[in-house]
Amino acid sequence: MEPSKNALCPCGSGKKYKRCCLLKGGIVLCGKKPQFKYNKQFNRYESGIDHHYANFNNQGCDYIDSKPYIGKIKCRLVHEAGNSIIIPDYLLLKNGWIQPLHFTAPFLFKLDEKSIGCDFFIDIQNGETIKVRFYNYQILQTYPDKSQLYECEIFGPADIEEYACGEYKTIDDKIYFKLFHHTNEGGYNGITGTKTLRSSKWNYRGSKECVNYHFAYFTHIPEVKYPNDLITVAMSADGDIDYMIDSFVLPKVMLPDYRKRFENSIYTAKVYRSTTTDRNYTIEFLIPIESLDVKHIYLHHQGHLFFYEMCFPYIHRIKLKANSTLPFTDDFRIENVDVIVNSEYSIIGDARNKEGLAAPFEEDETKFIYKIEDCGKESIHDFWFSHENKDLFTGKVVETLKLKDVDDNPTK
C-alpha cells in the first residue's frame, strides 16, 4: 500500500505525502513503485527495498483537551550556560516505552505552596506532538544517574500504545529495557561464550579513541537489514551521513557536488564504515533503565520555533570504565554493576552552525555542554523553585570525555 495522503512523505522531505511525491506520481525507486507500510514503532516506511525513516514536520499538538493516558516519565534537570531545562529520557506506557524525538523547554507552574506541575510538548513518531504533564508529588524514584521517575499524564493519540518503541520488564521493582546488540558471527560467539560485553573504545562517529571511558552500544531496532537501518545507528556503507544547519533550504534537486556547493551549510559526518552483513547476528539484552547513558541533544532555532532534538534516538549506550567488560546473566540480563559510570554532563550542539552539528559526533568539544543536576531528596520541581535565579552551571565541575586521534579508526 502507498502512504496515506496526510502522512509524512517517505522520501524524507519532511512534507506530507500529498504535497510532495504524490504530486509527482508517487514514490518511485529503482524504476518502479514499491509498496509501503508505515511502522509506528520505528517511525519508518517499510518496503521490500529499504526502510525509510521519517523526518519530523511539526504540525502542533492536537490532543491538549483529550483524555490523558496515565504513564510514567524518566527525566532529569540540566543546566547550560545561562539556562536550565528538563530533558525527557523516556516515556513508559503499560505495554512498552517511547523514545522522545524532540521536545520544548518545560513550563513549570505552582498550584499552591506544595503542588508544582510541569508541562512540555514532546514529538514522537509519525509527526505526532503530545503534551506531558507531571507534578512534584508524583515522583516515584530517584536514580543514581541523577534522573527521576514520575507518574505522568500523556495527552496524545487514542492509540498511543501502538507507538511503543520497545518493550520493558519489571523485575523486583526494577525496570529493564529490552534492547539489541547487533554484531557478526565472531562477535556473537565471543559475547555469548564469555557472557560478557567488551567495552568499545570509539566515540559515536567511530573516528576517535576514547581514553578515560568506553561504551557498550545497543539499539531498539531488532534487525539491521537495509542501508538506512545502518544510518540510524551512526554507521554507513560509504562512511558518510549528512546533517544540514537550521537555515539551510533544501533545493528541489541535489546535484552530485552538493557537499562542495553547500559546504557552509552541510556537515558530513565521516562515520563507522560497515555493511548490513557485518551486523547479521543479534543478541537481545535486558538493561536497567538507570544504566543507560544520557543522550546528547541539538538546540534548534527554525523561524519562530525553538526546540531540542534527541541525537541518535535509535542508539542507547552504557558508559563504562575504560578497558572493562560488562557481565550479564544466563537470561542476558545486565545489572547496574560498578564498571558502569553515570555521566555528569552531555553535549548540546547548536544546529545553526556546522560546529554545533559536529559536536555530538566528535564528543570532545566541551564548549557545547550541559551539566546534570543532582536534586538530592528534592523533586526536580521543588529544586527548580528553591534555586531559581542562581548560576548552577559555572561552579559545577565535571570530568569530560578525553579522546585521541588514531590511524586505525573504523571510519577509514
Nearest to 284 by CA among 202, 188, 165: 188
* Radius of gyration in angstroms for the set of CA atoms belonging to the chain, rounded to a whole number: 21
pLDDT at 16: 63
Tell me how far the alpha carbon of residue 100 is from its chain's centroid: 7
With helix as H, strand as E and coil as C, how does the chain read?
A: CCCCCCCECCCCCCCEHHHCHHHHCCCCECCECCCCEEECCCCEEECCCCEEECCCCCCCCCCCCCCCEEEEEEEEEEEECCEEEEEEEEEECCCCEECCCEECCCEEEECCCCCEEEEEEEECHHHCEEEEEEEHHHEEEECCCCCEEEEEEEECCCCHHHHCCECEEEECCEEEEEEEEEECHHHHHHHHHHCEEECECECCCCCEEECCEEEEEEECCCCCCCHHHHHHCCEECCCEEEEECCCCCCCCCCCCCHHHHCCCCEEEEECEECCHHHHCEEEEEEEEHHHCCCCCEEEEEECCEEEEEECCCCEEEEEEECCCEEECCCCCECCCCCCECCCCEEEEEECCCHHHHHHHHHCCCCCCEEEECCCCCCCHHHHHHHCCCCCCCCCCCCCCCCEEECCCCCCC
CA distance 393 to 412: 38
Strand partners, 88: 75
Q: Give the distance between the most distant pair of CA atoms in the chain.
A: 65
CA distance 122 to 103: 4
pLDDT at 58: 66
pLDDT at 36: 77
pLDDT at 9: 67
Residues of the chain with pLDDT under 70: 1-35, 57-59
- Sorted by sequence, the CB contacts under 8 Å of residue 96 that are 6+ apart come out as 161, 164, 165, 166, 167, 168
Does the reported pTM lie above 0.85?
yes
Only one residue has cell 513549570, namely 108
* Nine-digit cell string for 181: 546488540
